[in-house]
A and B are shown apart, each in its own frame.
Chain A
Amino acid sequence: MATDSARRTRRLRLAGRYLVLILAAAIVLFPIYITVVDALLSPQQVVTRPPTLFPTSPHWGTFATAFKEGNLGVYLRNSAIVTLAITVAELLTSVLAAYAFVFLRFPGRNILFVASLATLMVPFEATLIPNYQTIQKFGLFNTYPALVLPFIASGVGIFLFRQAFLGFPREIRDAARLDGCGHVKFLFRMVAPINRPVLAAFSLFAFLTSWNQYLWPLVVTQTNSVRTVQIGLRQLSLTNFNQLDVVFAGTILAALPIGVLLFVFQRQLVAGLTAGALKG
């Protein structure tokens, strides 16, 4: 008897757990679910009430419409170019700078490092207007360089990599030096490969951050030729207000690359997100 009731309470508790889990999942997933469903409906179906919650005859062509007429293809290309450029630049400049801060001695090393860290305290918005004016003055308004140049360096990157490089075993470094290993070789053959996880985590972080940029691309671009996908999405939602299915399809196209990337690199993502936090 006792085990029966114990089993029953256990089952009830399990059912209760599942209920809460499902409820929470439904709430979190609802907007995404609707987006996917509505992207596959016809424009009339999207606005009819009561709402259609499952696409019985999915319109797969809407994605093509969003890609071409909705210009998502162009926007994705622009975002890809800009984000890749920024990620590579930030990775490179941070690795090189961190290496110098750790393995080289030079006057002003500490000040320059503190200055690099200090950039973390400066929100981008505080520098928005002069940066905009700088871009204007160099005639770079509405160009790829305008989107990339302000972000070729990263204080986060320098900090993270310096932390990582500091942990490089001294003995190996001394041994390499004795072997006559120059700095360049040391960096690219030994330091970088060993720190691949943190390099990967940072790259992912840099990629994500720059892909999701909104304010800067908004003020510095004006035509579709350089517009990134976030601003392009804004454009789409305004011009196609009577074609909600296309808007939703565009949203999915805009989110898909990141979704795939994050899914593939989820371990690195977790590591990257928690690297700074957990290490206190």
Chain B
Amino acid sequence: MTPRFIRRAREAALAYLLILPAVAAFGLFVFYPLVKTAYLGFFLAPPTPNLPSHYVGLQQYQQVLGSSDFRDSLGRTGLFVLLTVPAGIVLGLALANLAQKKVPGIRAFRTIYSSTVATSVAVASVVFFTLLNPEVGLLSYLFGKEGGNGILADPHWALPAVALVTIWQNIGFTFILMSAALQSLPEDVLEASKVDGASSFVRFRQITLPLLSPILFFAAVIGVISGFQAFGQIDLLTQGGPNHATLVLIYDLYQQAFQFNNPGYAAVLSVALFFILLLLTFAQFWFFQRRVSYGD
């Protein structure tokens, strides 16, 4: 046992001690559950947890993933993401651009535009749920749609309505992100393009956008992931209805696990969600890696 070995051993011991809490937590609450979820999918869950479960191999995976219900949930989730992410980014960018102008009082406007960052999903959803209530909601009144079932009970407009609430709630965050990005753009490049006489629109497209591409990419990735994970607003606004119009993948998961007591089915959905997100993230990285220009 050379002194060097002892020193190294002590160093390693200290290191393991330091990383122990994190690694233990990850092991118990991230990796073990991930494997266990996949494992649960191989069993038909009994009606109550005290009973034995039946092993069915891949049958449950095939049944669930091949079902039209799953395809529909996936489709709705995709639609929801399509409704929220591009619009959210465009709006955030537009507002950020708007608020870049150095007019007196712009600080107040910037505070207002970023204010929704203080709202959580629950806050935004409760506020909009009340505003959209067909009997007493202010928005229903303003748009002359009083009475009836309201927009949240309309199978065609429920999902867009939930998307709208999501966009509104995220505007603050996107605005701050885009503002910071715009402010970090190299002044000299922007000035040079102005001198060149390019119109502001062309300038924006050819110069600003490419410079912004890393942040747009970041916003897109984050947006897609959180879009797939959107749960609170659906639970508060529509509970997956009407007639499954807002039953996105994760709400389906929740219903199966906690309302129908079918953790086997829900486990299959969990695994599907995991792989879909993984795939989408990699796809985005691959798609954007050529378009995103990280300036030198």
Residues of chain A having any CB pair with chain B under 8 Å: 14, 17-18, 20-21, 24-25, 28-29, 31-32, 34-35, 46-47, 49, 51, 89, 92-94, 96-97, 99-101, 104-107, 109, 112, 115-116, 119, 121-134, 136, 149-153, 155, 158, 183, 211-212, 214-215, 218-219, 229-231, 233-234, 236-237, 244, 247-248, 251, 254-255, 258-259, 262, 269-270, 273-274, 276-278, 280
Q: If the complex has contacts A14-B103, A20-B98, are A97 and B30 also in contact, measured as CB distance less than 8 A?
A: no
Tell me, yes or no, whether B26 is within 8 Å of chain A by CB: yes
Number of interface residues of B (CB under 8 A): 89
**B59 CB, min distance to chain A CBs, angstroms:** 19
* Most A C-beta atoms less than 10 A away, residue of B22, B28, B122, B232: B22
Among all A-B residue pairs, the 10 with the closest Cβ atoms: A127-B33, A130-B33, A214-B232, A106-B12, A259-B118, A153-B25, A153-B22, A126-B274, A130-B36, A230-B122
Q: If the complex has contacts A21-B99, A130-B40, A237-B126, are A258 and B267 also in contact, measured as CB distance less than 8 A?
A: no
Question: Using Cβ atoms and an 8 Å threshold, which residues of chain B touch A29?
Answer: 112, 115
B141 touches A49 (CB 8 A): yes
Choose, from B80-88, B155-163, B191-199, B253-261, the stretch at the interface. B253-261
Would you list which residues of chain B between 243 and 267 have a CB under 8 Å from chain A?
Answer: 250, 253-254, 257-258, 263, 266-267
Tell me the nearest residue of chain A to B281, going by C-beta. Answer: A121
Question: Using Cβ atoms and an 8 Å threshold, which residues of chain B touch A153?
Answer: 21-23, 25-26
Additional A-B contact list (9), CB under 8 Å, known A134-B29, A152-B21: A96-B19, A119-B31, A129-B263, A231-B122, A234-B235, A254-B123, A258-B120, A262-B117, A276-B218
What are 14 pairs between A and B in contact, CB < 8 Å? A24-B98, A31-B131, A96-B18, A96-B22, A115-B26, A119-B31, A122-B31, A122-B274, A125-B229, A127-B29, A130-B36, A153-B23, A270-B180, A278-B184
B176 touches A123 (CB 8 A): no
Tell me the nearest residue of chain A to B27, going by C-beta. Answer: A115
Question: Using Cβ atoms and an 8 Å threshold, which residues of chain B touch A34?
Answer: 127, 131, 138
Tell me the nearest residue of chain B to A37, going by C-beta. Answer: B138
The residue from B22, B25, B130, B135 contacting A247, defined by CB atoms under 8 A apart: B130
**A74 CB, min distance to chain B CBs, angstroms:** 16
B12 touches A126 (CB 8 A): no
Tell me, yes or no, whether B166 is within 8 Å of chain A by CB: no
Question: Using Cβ atoms and an 8 Å threshold, which residues of chain B touch A231?
Answer: 122
Q: C-beta contact mask, B259-286 vs A, less than 8 Å → 1, else 0?
A: 0000100110011011001100100000
B130 touches A128 (CB 8 A): no
Tell me the nearest residue of chain A to B126, going by C-beta. Answer: A237
A278 touches B180 (CB 8 A): yes
CA distance A112 to B126 in the complex (A): 42
Tell me the nearest residue of chain B to A105, going by C-beta. Answer: B11
Question: Using Cβ atoms and an 8 Å threshold, which residues of chain A touch B127?
Answer: 31-32, 34-35, 248, 251
A152 touches B25 (CB 8 A): yes
